[in-house]
Structure formats: C-alpha cells, structure tokens
A and B are shown apart, each in its own frame.
Chain A
C-alpha cells in the first residue's frame, strides 16, 4: 500500500514503467490483430475474432495513440526521467515529490480512460491518431461518438500529467544539482529529457486549445472546425502538427541520450563532443517548430507554404545526422564491450538511420505528393519510432535494471531477445516500404478489394509472419525481466564501471538515494573514460581525484 501513495521518485518511475509495459502489450496486441486481418482478410483472428472495417479503424487509431502517448513517453521520459534525474544530479528526490505523485495519478487516470474508450458503445475511436475533423468531430461520420470524446479526454489528461511532470524535471535540473556540478558536468541523458520536457510544454499548448475546441464540436455541437459555420478543419491540422512534429523530437532526444550513456560506458571512451551534442540538440528542438506543415503538403495548404516547409524539413536532417555522427565518432577507436545494452544502442543507430534517410523523400513536397498516405510513410515512421520507443526502452531497461532492481539480468537471454526482435523488425517493415512505393495507401482494412493492389498480398503475409516471430521473442524478455527481478544474481553498485552518480549508491538505492551526510559532490564531467594518466579506464564524477 505504501507503494501506491509513495512520493519517492524511484517508486513513481516503476509505476510509469510497469504501466508503460502493460500498455505496450495492449498496443502490440492491437498490431497483431490488424496485421492478421491484413494478411488473412475477413478470417477470424485467433484470440480476437473477425475484424470489421470499423473495428480495424479503431485498432489502428488506438495502436498509434497508445504507443506514442502511453508507451514511448511514459517509459522514456516519465519513467527514466524520474529514476535518473535525481540520481544523476546527486539529489535525494525531485523538488516537488507530491506533484510528482499527482502527475502519475493523472497519467494513470488517462490510461484508464483510454482503455475504457475501447469498451463503450460504438467501440474505440476510429478516426486515426491524427483525429482530423470533420470525421473526428461528427459522431454521425465516425460512428464512435462516445469513444471519440473519451479518447480526446484521455489524451488531454495525459498532456496535463506530462506538463506537470515536465515542470518537475526542469526545475529539479535547474536547481537541485549536487555541489560542484556545473552545467557541462550534467550527463547528456538528463539534458535531453529536460530539453524534451521544455519542447513538449511549448508545443502542446495550441493543441490543448484546439482539443478543447474539438471536444466542444463533438459534445456541444459548436462549429469550430465546420466550414459551413465559419470554422476551418485545416486549423485543426495546423494545431495538431504544430505539436505533432516537435513531439517526435520530444521522444527522440531522450532515446539519443540513453544511447549516448550506454555507448560512452561500453566504448570506454569520452563522448566525442559534449557541448556540440548539447547545442545540436537545442538547435534541433528549436528547428522542430518550423517544419510542421510537411505533414500537410497534400491537405490543401497554400503551395507557397509547402515550399518553405520543404526547405526547413530538409534542413533539420542536418543536426539530427550530426547527433548520430557524434555517437559514431565516440565509438571510433573505443574499447568496445558488446553487452546487451550496447547491442541495443548500436541497433538504435543503425535502424534510426534508415528511418531518417527515408524521411527525406517525405520532407520534399514533390515526392511527398506520391508518397503521402502510402505505406512508405508508415514504414518511415516505424523505422524512427520503433528504434526510439522499443529499442530505446530495451536499451535503457537492460542498462539500468541492475540499479533499479538490485539484480543482474541474464545476458544470454538478453542477446537472444535482441536478435529475435531486431532481425524480424526489419522483415516487417522493409516489405512495407516496397508496398508503399507500389502505391498501397494507408488505413484500408482489406487490400484484396483493390484489384491494383492484390499483387502485394504475399508481402503483407510475409510481414505479418515476421511480426509473429518478433512478438514470440518478447516472451523471452518478459521471462528474463521478471525472473531476474526475483532470482537474478545480486548487482554490485557499479556493474558496468560507469562514471555517473547513480552508480555510486546501492543497487537499488535507498530512500533518499544516499545517506544524508554522504550526498555526493561533483568534481568533473560525466564522460571521463580512458584517461591516459589513470590506472582505471573510468573516473567517477564524485571522486575528489
């Protein structure tokens, strides 16, 4: 019972982690159902039943919404932010522990609401995670009136939870650092989570306003997005994407931060360019505000605007590529230790790279005219989101598990899980690039109804089989995770020989993180690996010399 009402940041981080993992299972199950429908249309899906067109829409809508808002953000930002930030800056907790608890409670409520939305009359909202009106505003069009409003309320609650949580993270980083920790001594992952929180906060505001307007259109019959009554559906698109694009960087930056921590530790090498990485991350965040309409190239926006957004979108690939280059430069010449977390970090770089370069075709308005709304888009964003949300999460979990739970995960099972996830992942989505280039459009529940697309069916079946293999291998992770929690070998304070402050305390850390009179003082940066004068190849931040 004390765990439910706890204000300890570590307990709250577990709450977010387990909620996120649970929601990942739900989101993954939805993907299983709709991919089975696509591969074997109108045949009952084992474990679900026959998928009607309306249900298909609800499944893809909620899969997307849940994976972004109830898996990626809670795990990468809320869970690891809560766990790592106080520990890595040498604090005993967040500066506002009770607001922290409130944030999780609001988040938990939002999860209950989104799950409830799936079971009400009419079923879950089926208007796509982008919820464009008039489809999302009029129950007579979307046929899921109650589900649509509950979906909107759930997302709004989640936004408020993350606004509150974000403020906690930002103020904690700004104020609660250990004595001696200057700005450039802060580990990159902490910076990234805080920059992501600021980016989220500044971009979500207009969408909250827009969501209130949409909710009123749905429930009060206002006409904010109804052109016949002086409204404009394009306004929703702009408000949505003004947030939606920065949002992808909100999840990307923490994933890159996690990758950096792991790479520096297991390459035994100083981070290639700390300040460069920091400033590049900030520039990416600022630039991300200027690219949003590339999601709307064929929506009817003024073509002259499309020109502007093409330029800005192609420009933003530069700082992002630079972040990846810095990681690669850190690896170069390092003494590589291929542990499971390191494998995940390396996979992140490789897979995200593919996602990033395919984005170029979509960012140029000319090629986007053909590719928009095809499976090419879908494959692109899964090649970016999957590394961020899934690979990034597994990297973080396998790396910090010893600190969080005081035991070591089994490395062999970890590697089996790794290969069983990453290889099938590519076999799911490369066929989808091919199908997209061939003209297969999104959000269709049965491609056999389209004579010109029937030929692609073998690829759809192949992708689905790959997904089944990948899902099966997740059982290895769950077994490893839960078994190691109870029976894994006890973890020492610093199993990976890493520099940052969280590794200087017990595994798991006690309440208050360090004894009150032993709070750490910081003497150097976080990446002093492989220093030529030292005997050890690492140099913890809290050692006086």
Chain B
C-alpha cells in the first residue's frame, strides 16, 4: 500500500497540514449527519411527552459508565498525540491501543446493555423512543467501530515511528466520537 505521495499532498497553502484539514472537513460532514438525526429525535421527543414511559427504562448507570470509558479513551488518545509530537512512536502506539481497548469495552458494555433491553421487550420497533434510541446509538457505535479499526492501522505504523502525524488525526476523529456521546448520554439516559 505504500506509494510516493504526490507533490500536491505536501503543499500547504492554507497553513494547515493537509491531513488535519481533511479530518476537520470529515467532522463537518459528520456534524450534519448526527445533527440531523438528533434534531429529528428532539422534535419527536418534545412533541411526544408520553415517550417518557419508554425513556424511563434506559439504564443511567450503564450509560454513565460508558461515558467514563469514552472520556478515558479520549484522554489516552490525546496523550498518544503528545507522545507522537515528541517522536516517541512506541509510546504513542501503546496509548492508541489503550484507546482501542476503551472502544472495545464501550462496545461490549453496549452489547450487554442492548441484550438486556431486548430481552425485556424493548426492541427497535417497540415504540418511537426505542426506534430513535437504537438508531442513534447504533450509528454512533458504527463510528466507534470504524474509528477503532483505523486506529489499529495508525498504531501499527506509529510503533515503527512512521506516519506519526496520523496519531493526531485519528485522535481528532476519536474526540468527535466522544463529543457525540457526550450529547447522546443526557438525551437518551438523563432527560427522562
């Protein structure tokens, strides 16, 4: 997969390195995707106060635990960036792996949470609230999975002290995934 980078990739007329510029544009597009979904959810939730019955059944403690997991993984991601800045690729890779570990923990906990909810009859078709709950959290989880996979590739390169700038880039994406959850948590778990 190695190829020589075109001259174009190395130029930086805007003053921002190309990779980082691209990640910010990716985030802009993700903001409107999640924003659209959350806006649609909000409209329905505010217009249907009777959904509170359903919303009462989300487990705030599990949600809070998962929030701690994601916040911690964001912390390890930014520490990985710090290590990469200092040129310590091996440390950056270790911290990225910790971040991926956080992602896996999040997913396992979510899987158990969903299994429990489904066994109680709270399926995606049970009610409008649950439809949005699984869709929003599911879309978020898909982004967690994608981010974790990419992070593994970046960690592999970083351990060999190659492409260290990508540690920061995958970190920025990861923080965004964290920020989305920071909003999903109160929406789905606290605002009952």
Contacts and interface: CB of A to CB of B under 8 A. Distances in A.
Q: Taking the complex as a whole, does A directly touch B, i.e. does some CB pair lie under 8 Å apart?
A: yes
Interface of A: 7, 86, 91-98, 163, 167-168, 170-172, 174-177, 181, 201-210, 212-213, 216, 220-224, 229-232, 235, 239, 512, 516, 519
Contacts, number: 133
A174 B44 contact: no
Nearest to A174: B14
A205 B12 contact: no
Contacts of A220: 124-125
A426 B135 CA distance: 47
B128 A223 contact: yes
B124 A96 contact: no
Contacts of B22: 95-96, 167-168, 171
Interface residues of B, number: 40
A34 B149 CA distance: 47
A92 B11 CA distance: 11
A202 B32 contact: yes
A207 B32 CA distance: 9
Contacts of A174: 13-14, 16, 21
B191 interface: no
27 contacts: A92-B7, A93-B8, A98-B1, A98-B3, A167-B25, A167-B29, A171-B25, A174-B14, A175-B12, A176-B9, A177-B13, A181-B13, A202-B28, A204-B29, A205-B29, A205-B33, A206-B32, A209-B34, A209-B37, A209-B40, A212-B135, A213-B135, A216-B124, A222-B131, A224-B132, A230-B127, A232-B44
Given A174-B13, A201-B28, A210-B40, A223 B125 contact: yes
A245 to B, nearest CB: 15
Interface string B113-144: 00000000000110110011001000100000
A94 B25 CA distance: 16
Contacts of A212: 37, 135, 139
Contacts of B44: 230-232
A95 B13 CA distance: 12
Nearest to A519: B7
Contacts of B124: 216, 220, 222
B39 interface: yes
B9 A96 contact: yes
Interface of B: 1, 3, 6-9, 11-14, 16, 18, 21-22, 25-26, 28-37, 39-40, 43-44, 48, 51, 124-125, 127-128, 131-132, 135, 139
A175 B14 contact: yes
A512 B3 CA distance: 14
A205 B31 contact: yes
Shortest 4 CB-CB distances between A and B: which pairs?
A206-B36, A205-B32, A230-B128, A209-B37
Given A206-B39, A208-B36, A94 B8 contact: yes
A136 to B, nearest CB: 17
**Main SS at interface, chain B:** helix
A224 B131 contact: yes
B36 A210 contact: yes
A99 B7 CA distance: 16
Given A91-B6, A95-B6, A167-B22, A221 B135 contact: no
A215 to B, nearest CB: 10
Given A175-B16, A221-B125, 20 more contacts: A91-B6, A91-B8, A93-B6, A95-B9, A96-B22, A175-B13, A175-B18, A176-B7, A176-B8, A176-B13, A201-B32, A204-B32, A205-B29, A212-B37, A212-B135, A223-B125, A229-B127, A231-B128, A235-B40, A239-B40
Contact of B3 (A7, A208, A213, A519): A7
B128 A229 contact: yes
B6 A209 contact: no
Contacts of B33: 205-206, 208-209
Contacts of A239: 36, 40
A351 B40 CA distance: 39
B8 A207 contact: no
A95 B29 contact: no
A238 B51 CA distance: 23
A175 B13 CA distance: 4
B25 A170 contact: yes
A230 B48 contact: yes
Contacts of A86: 8
Contacts of B51: 230
A182 B139 CA distance: 40
**Which residue among A98, A181, A229 has the maximum number of chain B CB atoms within 10 Å of its CB?**
A229
A106 B150 CA distance: 18
Contacts of A172: 8
